[in-house]
A and B are shown apart, each in its own frame.
Chain A
Amino acid sequence: MSGNGAGGAGGPPSIGSALLRVGLALALLFGGIGAGLGYWQVVQAQALSSEPGNPLVQSAARNAPRGRIFDASGETVAFNDRGADGQRLRRYPYPAMAPVLGYQSLRFGTAGLERAFDAELTGLKPLGPGGDMMRKFLSDPYDPSDLHLSVDVRLQAAAAAALGGDRGSVVAIEPATGRVLALVSNPTFDANRLVDPASGGEYLESLRGDRSTPLLNRATQGRFVPGSVFKIVTATAALGSGAIDPATTYPTDEEYDTGFRIEGFTINDSARSFQRDHPLDFYEATEVSSNIWFAHAALDTGADELLASAQRFGFGSALDFDLPTTASQVTSGDGPLSGFTDRVELANAAYGQGEILVTPLQMAMVAACVANDGVLMRPHLVDRLESQSGRVRDVGPSELRTVMSAADAAAITQAMVQAVEGEYGQFYAGGAKVAGVTTAGKSGSAQLAAGRPHSWFIGFAPAEQPRIAIAVIVERAGSGSEVAVPLGGDLMSLYLEIAD
């Protein structure tokens, strides 16, 4: 084949075989390019075509009538309108829905569900498999979808009204399915003002400068000290690890008076004027929210088990949800005790102090998981998408994982029922009682460095067949029993009424 470079002794090596290797290298090069093409044009194609910066998305937002959004009862919560200048405008009839829906404006972009489902609402992302291939052959390539939410606008509005002028958040979930029934963050913004092309920019600036952070979605991205509502996570770890059983009793006699001393730090139980005659078991300790009991339980359980249980609930990473979420944490440190600085921090973590920070959504998932026999469902806001051409995608319940055994879930439920309905519990979470229905709950008063505590409640009802699980936080409003507990009870009973 080649007449050149016939390398005799001392002659140059043959060029032909080197050419073969160059050819092979070039073949690899072309293969690499092909792989790159495949990556961007097949694997990443859909993601790229849904990015807000893509002119395709902007064009679709201009040209196609955006899908509408309905609540669980069929109420329209977002629709298209014409502004004064004839330009298409988005309208939001229910102000309380802002933390869920966000906004969509040609000038200021998108947020909330309007952002998360932008591709479906504009019709860029067709429903069903193979839809993307077919789209290119159609003369009208856009098939916008309507969203049908699991949120009930009546519960949402009632929760926002109940918070009133207070900063805080309410998240309610249907335990068996993960359907989010309400997701409230207070204060919030007026989406109608924001999408107004004339005054929206000024309004957005004022929102950004507002020190009450109305643009922060507290429900999914606000992180708060949980206080005693975290005891449910501690209980899950302690029971699940086998370190304790419901009959395990703490503390020893002298700790009634002196407090529980650990490495120089003293843990006291507040309001221990009653039940001084015997050591507490798990149910009694939950009922009266004994910090000493849970500190003992956490120390006997160990840092690793506590962290593992919290992680199964979703702590430590952003939650898989329709809106962006911030991760909740058990400890911020990288201390020697599996992240905890020492046993004092671990003991404090047992009752939700220490370095623990949680989102209201995360705590609602804890309550819903106990209510659902220990099985954690993926929370979701969108039940169903329905395109104009009639395609439908249903978002069914989807199981994330089993966090605890059904027996442990039953024990914790019993303890939470006692915390609402027990002889002593009624002084703590008794305000959450839903008339005529067995109610489970746990109050929390999260101590902060200064000022009044965060007022917390998590719970669910009816305890036997839970239909709603809820987490309520009112920032710096006082003890749990004063504010969050009755608020949570009222909202649960309202939901059970309207849902019938």
Chain B
Amino acid sequence: MLLALTGVTLFTGWASLASQQAGQMTFGDVSIPAIYMAILFAVHLAFVLTGRRMDQVLLPVTGLLGSLSLLLMARLPQGSAGLSLGGLELGLAPLQLLWLSVALAVLAILAIAVRNDNWLREYKYTWAAAGIGLLLLVFILPPASSDPTGPRLSLQIGPIAGQPSELLKVILVVFLAGYLAENRTLLARTSTKIGPLSLPPVPYLLPMLAMWGVALGIVIVQRDLGAALLFFTVFLTLLYVATRRFAYVILGMAMFLAGATVLYQLFPHVRVRVDIWLDPWADPLGSGFQVIHALYAFGRGGVLGTGLGAGLPAVGDTPGDLPAVHTDFVYAALGEELGMLGALAIVALYAVIAERGLRIAARAADDFRALLATGLTLVIVIQAALIIGGNLKLVPLTGITLPFVSYGGSSLLANAIIIGLLLALSDRGVEPPQPPSAGRRFRLPARSPA
């Protein structure tokens, strides 16, 4: 039922956009929204047919965010990005539709096929190793971008560039959920006193230090402040959920601040990011340009917005005024065209994801699943908050994407995996995990019919 609402939103938006561009009332070419809605309903149908009893809200919310993305991509100047495959030129919207379709397929397959979580919880160290290997690949393979000062995020394989840190965030949550579920009693109960703080035994602190190192490493070698912030925030929150010890959070934040201060002193790209956050008007035509123009976009939008298609890139003869509008500044563009009400609605969509995700975690059958659901939810919600906050100059601007809305394949795929897993975890019919036995390993029985 909620999917129908998504359809209404998408088609209304599409017609509004087409009318704005054509200067008259029209529906325009509806093939793109039609294909998208068909895929969404197909996914839903597959869920029903396979008899899964999963969360009924997550798919429509994800679908709605995806349809906003389609609207925005169709509305942006098509020359600004795109892919040409053997003479076939694809604009932003068809390309994004392609990625959305792949993402929804991945989501559906995961949600339907994942019936037990052995393969996740048993091999957590393998997953962690795979993640670090993925990170290292970026340095072995030639960078996709030739800009030596910019972030080194991409892997280029043939015509397709991917960002491994997108996949890494999923892997990391799987590892953390496994590690914390196993050791949380120890982490929560035992302590060594260091001054006023009581800490767990030193060996168990090592993973925390390792995470800290990974986060700082990402900032230093990948120049990706956003991913580092995201990883560390998710890590600290999960640690808190597992142990309920606020001291860890304080300690972690102190460590991060200390690290950040050192990085600020040592690395110019970090310094620039922070400085333009504090005062973008110091260099309005240079480094502060993006931030200022994002704020201009919000200002022009006001409460009601300019309307789809009537916003910034269409202003006068200054097309593409906001650089990276389809990736870093989608929220500013939507804030302009949909106004504060639309922008708040988008925030509300992420709030719904948060609520559903935490509910799934609370109902989970055991610690691993609870922590996994929490972590997956946090990845999406915190990522959204970081980039929205960056657009609004509430936190330093980072290059991470707005989940399901920003243009880009790897981001869509990674977030689809997250929602797919969340859906699978939400199914009451999924196999119950075996209660912890004498051994420290959880062992699940072989698959039995659901």
Contacts and interface: CB of A to CB of B under 8 A. Distances in A.
Contacts of A32: 389, 394
A34 interface: yes
Interface in A1-26: 1-5, 10-19, 21-23, 26
Most buried by B among A26, A40, A58: A40
Contacts of B303: 41-42, 45, 133
A300 B130 CA distance: 84
Contacts of B244: 13-14, 17-18
A371 B378 CA distance: 68
Contact of B237 (A2, A16, A22, A62): A22
Contact of A133 (B285, B304, B340): B304
A15 B241 contact: yes
Contacts of A21: 240
A33 interface: yes
B350 A2 contact: no
Interface in B297-355: 298-307, 312, 315-318, 321, 335, 339-340, 343-344, 347-348, 350-351, 354-355
B296 A30 contact: no
B302 A45 contact: yes
Interface stretch (B182-190, B214-222, B259-267): B182-190
Contacts of A59: 315-316, 318
B354 A19 contact: no
A252 interface: no
Given A37-B335, A45-B299, A22 B363 contact: no
A37 B302 CA distance: 9
Interface in B168-204: 184-185, 188-189
B413 interface: no
A136 B299 contact: no
Contact of A55 (B318, B344, B361, B365): B318
B302 A41 contact: yes
A264 B347 CA distance: 73
B275 interface: no
Contacts of A26: 351, 354, 358, 381
A398 interface: no
Nearest to B384: A33
Contacts of A46: 299
Contacts of B393: 36, 40
Interface stretch (B26-34, B46-54, B367-375): B367-375
Contact of A49 (B242, B300, B339): B300
B284 interface: yes
A26 B237 CA distance: 11
A337 interface: no
A36 B298 CA distance: 10
Contacts of B351: 26-27, 30
A132 interface: yes
B295 interface: yes
B437 to A, nearest CB: 16
Contacts of B343: 37, 41
Main SS of the interface on chain B?
Answer: helix
A14 B366 CA distance: 11
A380 B393 CA distance: 35
A209 interface: no
Nearest to A11: B185
A44 B303 CA distance: 11
Given A41-B343, A42-B340, A44-B299, A36 B241 contact: no
Contacts of A390: none
B374 A19 contact: yes
A48 B281 CA distance: 12
A55 to B, nearest CB: 5
Contacts of A4: 364-367, 370
Interface string B31-68: 00000000000000000000000000000000000000
Most buried by A among B185, B343, B362, B364: B362
A54 interface: yes
A318 interface: no
Interface in B141-193: 184-185, 188-189
Contact of B298 (A13, A34, A40): A40
A29 interface: yes
Contacts of B371: 15
B363 A12 contact: no
A69 B301 CA distance: 30
A10 B302 CA distance: 55
B296 A56 contact: yes
Q: How large is the interface on A (under 10, 10 to 19, 20 to 34, 35 or more residues)?
A: 35 or more
Given A15-B242, A49-B296, A37 B340 contact: yes
B340 A41 contact: yes
Contacts of A18: 240-242, 244
A53 interface: yes
Contacts of B230: none
Contacts of A266: none
Given A29-B385, A54-B296, A59-B318, A12 B366 contact: no
A45 B371 CA distance: 41
A19 B362 contact: yes
Given A23-B355, A33-B394, A40 B299 contact: yes
B304 A58 contact: no
Nearest to A23: B358
Given A1-B363, A4-B370, A55 B315 contact: yes
A48 B241 contact: no
Interface in A98-139: 132-133, 136
B295 A48 contact: yes
A23 to B, nearest CB: 5
A4 B339 CA distance: 43
Nearest to B301: A41
Contacts of B185: 10-12
A396 interface: no
B243 interface: yes
Contact of A136 (B307, B340, B358, B367): B307
A40 B392 contact: yes
A36 B365 contact: no
Interface in A385-438: none
A38 interface: yes
Nearest to B381: A26
A136 B365 contact: no
A32 B394 CA distance: 9
A47 B299 contact: yes
Contact of B367 (A12, A40, A42): A12
Contacts of B299: 40-41, 44-49, 54
A13 B296 CA distance: 47
Contact of B243 (A13, A30, A133): A13
A34 B304 CA distance: 15
B433 to A, nearest CB: 10
A22 B367 CA distance: 16
A315 to B, nearest CB: 29
A17 B370 CA distance: 12
Nearest to B351: A30
Contact of B300 (A22, A56, A62): A56
B292 interface: yes
Given A41-B335, A42-B303, 12 more contacts: A11-B185, A12-B243, A13-B188, A14-B244, A21-B240, A23-B358, A34-B347, A36-B394, A38-B340, A41-B299, A48-B296, A55-B293
11 contacts: A12-B242, A14-B244, A15-B362, A15-B374, A16-B362, A17-B244, A30-B348, A30-B350, A30-B354, A32-B389, A49-B300
